[in-house]
């Protein structure tokens, strides 16, 4: 292998971070998102409210990538523990991780070469420490609504229940991104659905990745 190849591989293994003025530059955007989120009118049925506010144990929140905007506000209003979001180790991921921290969501970073194993280990460790975790099974680059194997492995092995998170926006812009990201209009209504999946059900032989995907699709109509 050439020196150039070795340098490329080393860079792929590196976890990138944003620091200094670049991180400070994210604060105005973070403030805007926080204020924007507080204008939203979140609507939850009684059962969904019970599921999202239960605090007897940490949970793994699973949602599609294009519903991420609503997550910080859901946690601010209904959860008492921080959620650790899975973010890639790439340079793009560094910006996303820094932004998440600005809006109050710490992140878990994984190496690029052993992403699935590293990320799974880190996320499971956070759950065992008593923190919630957040997984977008089709992130970070799609395909849209594809439930990846790594997310399935984590949800089955974590020893914690899963909350499948759904959001239906009554008024929103939809970006022309790979995931069709939803930006709810300020002061609009967001209908939130939370499907609780206990550990015993997750580990049942009847539970499959296809079934989890179908359940998540069912509570996220486009």
Residue 177: CB atoms within 10 Å: 11
Residue 5: CB atoms within 10 Å: 9
Mean residue pLDDT of the chain comes to 85
Per-residue confidence (pLDDT) for residue 116, from 0 to 100: 60
Per-residue confidence (pLDDT) for residue 19, from 0 to 100: 81
pLDDT at 1 over 80: no
Task: Please state, in angstroms and as integers, the Cα–Cα distance from residue 26 to each residue in 22, 31, 45, 72, 209, following that order.
Answer: 7, 9, 35, 16, 36
Over residues 82-140, the pLDDT tens digits come to 888 877 777 777 888 888 888 888 888 765 444 567 777 888 888 888 889 988 899 77
d(CA 134, CA 71): 9
User: Which residues, 6 or more positions from 11, have their beta carbon under 8 angstroms from its beta carbon?
Assistant: none
* DSSP alpha helix (H) spans, the chain: 3-13, 21-25, 27-39, 46-53, 71-78, 91-102, 115-128, 149-157, 199-202, 209-218
186 or 155, higher pLDDT: 186
Per-residue confidence (pLDDT) for residue 115, from 0 to 100: 56
All structural domains of the chain with their residue ranges: 3-218
Per-residue confidence (pLDDT) for residue 10, from 0 to 100: 43
β-strand partners of 184: 172
Measuring CA to CA, which residue among 184, 86, 204 is closest to residue 135?
86
Could you give phi then psi for residue 195, rounded to 5 degrees? -100, 120
Question: Is there a contact between 104 and 72 (Cβ–Cβ < 8 Å)?
Answer: yes
pTM of the model: 0.85
* Beta strand pairing call for 189-197 and 162-169: antiparallel
Over residues 10-20, the pLDDT tens digits come to 444 577 888 88
Over residues 157-211, the pLDDT tens digits come to 888 899 999 999 999 999 999 999 999 999 999 999 999 999 999 989 999 999 9
Q: Which two tokens stand for residue 27?
A: 């604060």
Over residues 192-204, the pLDDT tens digits come to 999 999 999 998 9
């Amino acid at each position: 292998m050439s020196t150039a190849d070795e340098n490329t591989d080393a860079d792929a293994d590196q976890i990138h971070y944003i620091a200094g003025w670049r991180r400070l530059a994210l604060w105005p955007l973070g403030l805007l998102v926080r204020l924007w989120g507080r204008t939203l009118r979140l609507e939850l049925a009684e059962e969904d409210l019970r599921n999202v506010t239960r605090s007897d144990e940490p949970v793994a929140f699973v949602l599609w990538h294009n519903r991420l905007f609503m997550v910080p506000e859901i946690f601010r209003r209904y959860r008492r523990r921080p959620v650790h979001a899975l973010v890639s180790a790439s340079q793009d991921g560094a910006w996303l991780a820094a932004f998440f921290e600005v809006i109050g969501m710490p992140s878990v970073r994984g190496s690029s070469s052993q992403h699935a194993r590293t990320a799974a280990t880190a996320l499971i460790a956070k759950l065992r420490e008593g923190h919630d975790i957040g997984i977008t099974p089709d992130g970070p680059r799609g395909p849209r609504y594809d439930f990846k194997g790594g997310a399935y492995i984590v949800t089955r092995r974590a020893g914690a229940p899963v909350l499948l998170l759904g959001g239906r926006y009554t008024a929103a812009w939809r970006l022309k991104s790979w995931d069709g990201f939803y930006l709810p209009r300020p002061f609009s209504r967001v209908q939130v659905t939370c499907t609780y999946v206990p550990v015993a059900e997750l580990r049942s032989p009847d539970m499959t990745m296809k079934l989890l995907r179908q359940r998540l699709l069912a509570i996220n109509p486009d």
